[in-house]
Structure formats: structure tokens, C-alpha cells
A and B are shown apart, each in its own frame.
Chain A
């Protein structure tokens, strides 16, 4: 009989460890001036340095060092006063040099932490994730395995290598072991990666696009019998490329390992690959042991020795922490938690904030971006901010507040702007979308409506206020929807003695 998740977690205590690789968004590579564009034609972004040609000498990208220090500061780390690069030697063609330039025993940042919040049965709960180290390295090339039936590495006849990605600055963020998460291990892992992604996005040091591989997560997991206080053998799951997959990979490994242990088998310390389609893992290549990498200090790169002045200057540029910012905006805008989460998940928090900064009402800014504009964006499978500018949306919302536009007219203005008819003002003038605010014109339409429906008008006079809806509808129809319904209602009720 096999254990399900709940049974697994009752018998075994999971211990997590997370390694996150972040591709920095520098213009050039870590040790050479080659461009870092995603999706360029194969081998168009290489040079003697990143191809490892004899005699080529690397020089470190200053921005990459600064981004790494910023990441360390944002994660409450100490910045090492002395840090060195090392060669990690291994025989695999994804690095043409036959080694990866990385950091070994002297990483740039050490000993930090990140607090993450999850929803538990007892309300929101905070877990402190301790950060072991943040180190600098370089990304590897991309392999294409040709031949065999699967297109995978197993059974391939040969492999084709594109080294455009080889040498792109990579930062690895490694947690200490995360104990005592119990059944919340999957949520904690996900919340950590999400919080980290928010921080990195706020620092503007990476695109953090998990689907494009600029943020990648490896999940280490071990189980020990509940209450034993032991530490079990861990597996390392690679290739976890979405937040949901982080959660699935953790829960899946808990169940897989629990069932192995339950049936008396041992956990093999190995690298496993996460399969995005099925949410399962399969064993990967058995890795070299640490000593097999024969790390040694990189003789071609001198040590990185950041002084306090440099660190302090960087510290001054740190943005507000995402969690703090979210709390601040939530209170400034008086928005329910759920709406905040919706904005964050839709990646529209920055956009809404910019719209509000241009004078728009927060509630309206939120509902326009998350409502109408997101709806159109989803239909066309584009990003909302590519459809319409923050400025245009802010202008439209301000016009609504000034009574120049009704919601209905505003939708037409949004359509016009998206269709490329110009600025909101231009669309309004071209399409003739002015609110009819001229009381004379409105009164004429109201009188016409009353004349057309005398019985209804009589009921309103007699105190049946809801009956006015039919008259208001007629007025709105007569003015082509360009009247302010609230204004019509006010004038109509007054006219009928209510």
C-alpha cells in the first residue's frame, strides 16, 4: 500500500534546502564583452574568452559584482571583505573551457536570511529562511541532443552546442537547511522562491523569468522519521521552472521518499530531474563528488575586495523591500489583502502604483488594469502594459473622476487608444465621446422620456423610486450613453418631485 501526502507527512519530517540560480540582466557577459540577448541565433554571442580559446584572459564585469553585492545586502548577508573566483573542473561540453568559473570557499556574500509568510491552518505564519551563501559564477551553454527517439540526452547520437549563454553572469543563492516546516514544506519552498523573485525584480538585477530560465531552482529534500531529530539522505531535484513546480517538486519528493523508506529501501543521494508535464522526477546523471571538481583559485582573475565605501554606496541604492512596500501600498490605498495578491500575481502592482502617482484614484486604477485592460490583454495574449500606457489610463481615470467620461464611454476610449487612434483626448474628440453634461439637453431628454412613459412617471411621483430606472434607461439611450447616469437620476427625480 502506498502512502499519500498526508500519511507521508505524519510519519516523516521533511528538511528542505533550496538553491536558486539567477541570471543577471547585465548587457555583457561575466568575463567578456559578448552580448547577453536571449534567443539570439546560435553562437553569435561568443568570443575567445567565453569559448576558452588559448591565451584569452577574462576580466570581471563590474555591474555583475555590484548586482551580487546588492542581492547579498537585500538578503541581510555579510559582504565578504575578500572573495575569490575558483575553477570548477568537470568534463562536460556545456562549458568550452572544461571548467566553470565559480566561487568555492570564498563567496561574495554569506549568512543572510529572508522571512517568508504562508497561510497556515492557524492564520498567516512566518518562516525565517537562513541564507548560507550568495556566490558569483557563469552560466553554461545550451545543448541540443540529436538522434535517439526522445530528443533527450539518453540515446542521443551526438550533441550540438550553442555557447551564447556560456559566460552570462549567474548568481547562486543557497539556503541553509530549512527545518521544522512540517506539512507546509511545499508552501514554504514556493513562498521563498516567490519572495526571492520579488526582491530580485525590485533590485532590477535580473529578468527573473522562470519560463526562460533566468531564475532556476534546485530543491534538496530529505526525510527523517517524525520526532527522531535525525537528518536523512537528500535528493536534489533540478529543472524546477515555475513557482507551482517548486511546490509540486517538494510534495512529490516527500511522497516518493516516504514510500521508499516505508518499504525498507534506502534513499540514494542523487540528482533528479523534474518533469514539468507530469510533476514527477526521474534520476539524472550521477554527479561528481565535490572533490572530483578539483576546485582551485582562478589564476586569471584577481580577488574581489569590496571596501566599505563601495558597499555603503550600493546600500544607499537599495529599494524598499517588496514585503514592506506591499504593506505600505495596501494601507495607503485601503485595499483588501486579496486584491493586493491579485495585483502582485498579475504583475501589475508597479503599473497600478505608477498610475496612482499620475493622480488616478487607486480603486479605479486597480479595477481598470485588472479588469477591462487585463481582459483584452488575455484575449490577445499580450502583456497589459503593451496595450496601453500608464499615462493614457491615468488620463482616462482622471476624466471619469471629473465627470467628463462615464465608465461606459471610458471603455470606448480605452478601445480607441488600444486600436491606435491616439491619446485619450484625441480618441474622445474623434469619436465624439463627451458626456452630455448640458442640463438643458438632459432636461429635454428627460421630458421626452416622461412623455413616452406617463404611467411610469406617475408611479415615481407616487414614491416608487425604483421605477425611475426605466426612465433613466430611456434617457441614456436617447443620449447614446453619453450622459452621466447619476446626474440623469438626480435631475429626473427632482423633476418628478422626489
Chain B
């Protein structure tokens, strides 16, 4: 039976850059434990001859020809950005975070 520790949840939160209080970590560890428990039950049912499924529909090789289609205008591309400058997306400093 898989188990997820409070430390692992804290690490996931750090990787996703989500700040969490101690109370939230306690709460989420418990909830994720329930989810993992459900997954583990499914795993018990699947026998060795059932390959892990990533795609429920058996379709392969869906491709497109190498053809250029018009892109968005820079104005449209940047329209959803919280901040922009010099026709580029502006983001907070990358290093220097905790």
C-alpha cells in the first residue's frame, strides 16, 4: 500500500511553488492518502497481463504534416500576460527565491 508522507507533500508544494501552512499540509497529506488508497485498490485488480494505460482509446500515430500556419500577433500573444515589456513576457526574478 502506497503512503505519502507529510514531507513528500511539502516537497511537492515546494516544486510547484505553492506556499502552504502547517495546517494545510496536515490536511492535504490526509486527503492525498485517501486518493492514493483508491489508486492502490485499482492496482490490486489489474493483473500482470494488463499493461498500464495512458490512453484509453487505442489510437496511434496521429500526426500533422510539416506546414506553417499563421501565428498569433505579438499583441494577442501577450494579451493574457500579467506583465510585458519589449514585446516579451515579463516575469519576476527567477533565482533568488527560497
Do chains A and B interact in one complex? yes
Q: Which residues of A contact B96 (CB under 8 A)?
A: 154-155
Once A33-B69, A51-B77 are accepted as A-B contacts, the answer to whether A156 and B64 lie under 8 Å apart by CB is no
Q: Given known contacts A156-B93, A156-B94, A288-B15, is B87 in contact with A27 (CB within 8 Å)?
A: no
Minimal beta-carbon separation of A41 from chain B (angstroms): 7
Out of B59, B64, B74, name the residue touching A44 (CB < 8 Å). Answer: B74
Establish whether residues B71 and A34, one from each chain, have CB atoms under 8 Å apart when the complex forms: yes
Judge whether B88 and A162 touch: CB under 8 Å: yes
> CA A163 – CA B74 in complex, angstroms?
10
Most buried by B among A43, A45, A156: A43
Indicate which residue in B66, B69, B94 contacts A143 across the interface (CB closer than 8 Å).
B94
Decide if B55 is an interface residue (CB 8 Å cutoff).
Answer: yes
Is there an interface contact between B71 and A47, defined as CB atoms closer than 8 Å? yes
A27 vs B93: C-alpha distance when bound (angstroms): 33
Evaluate contact between A305 and B62: CB separation under 8 angstroms.
Answer: no
The segment out of B21-29, B30-38, B41-49, B78-86 that lies at the interface is: B78-86
A42-B74 contact, Cβ under 8 Å, with A60-B64, A153-B95, A297-B54: yes
Interface residues of A in 383-414 (CB under 8 A from B): none
Name B55-78 residues within 8 Å CB distance of A. 55, 57, 59-69, 71-74, 77-78
Give Cα distance in the complex from A282 to B96, angstroms: 17
**Is the pair B64, A59 in contact by a Cβ cutoff of 8 Å?**
yes
* In the complex, A91 has a CB within 8 A of chain B: yes
- Is the Cβ of B89 less than 8 Å from the Cβ of A161? yes
A126 shortest CB reach to chain B, Å:
36
Is A26 interfacial (CB-CB < 8 Å)? Answer: yes
The DSSP consensus for interface residues of chain A is: loop
Contact with B along A129-172 (1 / 0, CB 8 A): 00000000000000111010000011111111111000000000
Q: Which residues of A contact B77 (CB under 8 A)?
A: 43, 46-47, 51, 163
B88 and A91 contact, CB distance less than 8 A: no
Q: Which residues on the B side are within 8 Å of A64 (C-beta)?
A: 66
Q: Is the CB of A53 within 8 A of B67?
A: no
Q: In the complex, which residues of chain B have a beta carbon less than 8 angstroms from the beta carbon of A59?
A: 62-64
A147 CA / B93 CA spacing, docked (Å): 10
Inter-chain contact A61/B17, CB cutoff 8 Å: no
Q: B66 contacts which chain A residues (CB < 8 A)?
A: 26-28, 61-64
A304 in contact with B61 (CB, 8 Å): yes
**A305 — which chain B residues lie within 8 A by C-beta?**
60-61
B94 CB to closest chain A CB (Å) equals 6
Do A158 and B91 contact each other (CB < 8 Å), given the known contacts A27-B67, A45-B71, A59-B64?
Answer: yes
CA distance in complex: A42, B90 (Å): 12
Q: Say whether, besides A41-B87, A160-B89, A299 and B55 are in contact (CB < 8 Å).
A: yes
CB of A35 within 8 A of chain B? yes
Q: Report, as a range, how many residues of chain B touch the other chain.
A: 35 or more
Residues of chain B within 8 A of A35, CB atoms compared:
68, 71
CB proximity of A91 to chain B, nearest CB, Å: 5
Q: How far is the CB of B57 from chain A (nearest CB, A)?
A: 8
A91 partner, pick from B16, B86, B87, beta carbons under 8 A: B16
- The reply to whether A91 and B17 contact each other, CB–CB distance below 8 Å, is yes
Contact of A292 with B by CB under 8 A: yes
CB-based nearest A residue for B57: A302
Query: Do A43 and B90 have beta carbons less than 8 Å apart?
Result: no
Within 8 A of A (CB), among B3-18: 11, 15-17
Q: Which residues of B lie under 8 Å from residue A143 when comparing CB positions?
A: 94
Give Cα A198 to B92, complex, Å. Answer: 41
> Chain A residues in contact with chain B, CB under 8 A?
26-28, 32-35, 41-48, 51, 53, 59-65, 84, 89-93, 96, 143-145, 147, 153-163, 285, 288, 292, 294, 296-297, 299, 301-306
Q: List 29 A-B contacts (CB under 8 A).
A: A27-B66, A27-B67, A28-B67, A33-B64, A34-B69, A35-B68, A35-B71, A41-B74, A42-B87, A42-B88, A44-B71, A46-B71, A47-B77, A61-B63, A62-B63, A63-B66, A89-B15, A92-B94, A144-B86, A153-B94, A153-B95, A159-B91, A161-B90, A162-B89, A285-B95, A299-B54, A302-B61, A303-B61, A304-B61
Contacts A47-B69, A161-B89 supplied; 9 other A-B pairs, CB < 8 Å: A33-B68, A44-B74, A61-B63, A62-B66, A159-B90, A161-B88, A296-B54, A303-B54, A304-B60
